[in-house]
Amino acid sequence: MFDFGMSELLVIGVVALIVIGPKDLPELFRSLGRFTAKMRGMAREFSRAMEAAADEAGVKDVAKDLKTATSAKSMGLEAVKEAASKFEKWDPLKNAARPTGTSAAPALQPDPQAAPPAESATSEAASMGPATQALAEAKAARQAIVQEAAEKLKKPAPPMAPADATETILEPSPAPHTPNTDRTPKAEA
């Protein structure tokens, strides 16, 4: 409450000893002790009365409800934290296929120990959620379209059947001549 150091207390004691005198000093300390005890008792009684009033008003219940409502567990943030920690620990290279060939070009041969493509696709689809599975199906459809287009480009174009030469060769048509509608004579340089 009051920040008195030892030197301040010593000065106060010396002044009290001089002003009050050595006879009345013990009585002063006794009355000062009783006064501080009464003040502390009144402060305790006041704080108990305030706590009782708060209990009657339901402040503790409201505080408890507020604490549970704002807790991370009730808001579902625990699941988010758990998912984030799983994502941080996830290693994408752990389950990646490793090349088996020793050539400089990447190996495109399937791993003989791996499951056949049809079985691995169904086992992967079973472990995916519905949204992830839909994305995987869309990706597979795009890959099929790209592969089909690449195969069409690799095939040579069929030769055109000889038809009328005038139909196949298109010559640009001459631009129509527009007469000069401006009647002013042009200056020659």
Give the pLDDT confidence of 163-174 residue by residue, as tens digits. Answer: 554 555 555 555
pTM, entire model: 0.30
Q: CA 83, CA 87: separation in Å to the nearest integer? A: 6
For 139-161, what is the mean pLDDT?
83
Q: Tell me: pLDDT of 141 over 90.
A: yes
Tally Cβ neighbours within 10 Å of residue 7: 8
Ranges of H-type helices in the chain: 6-20, 25-57, 59-69, 77-89, 117-127, 130-154, 165-168
pLDDT at 35: 95
- Report residue 16's pLDDT band, with 50, 70 and 90 as the boundaries: confident
pLDDT band at 84 (very low <50, low <70, confident <90, very high): confident
What mean pLDDT, rounded, does the chain reach?
75
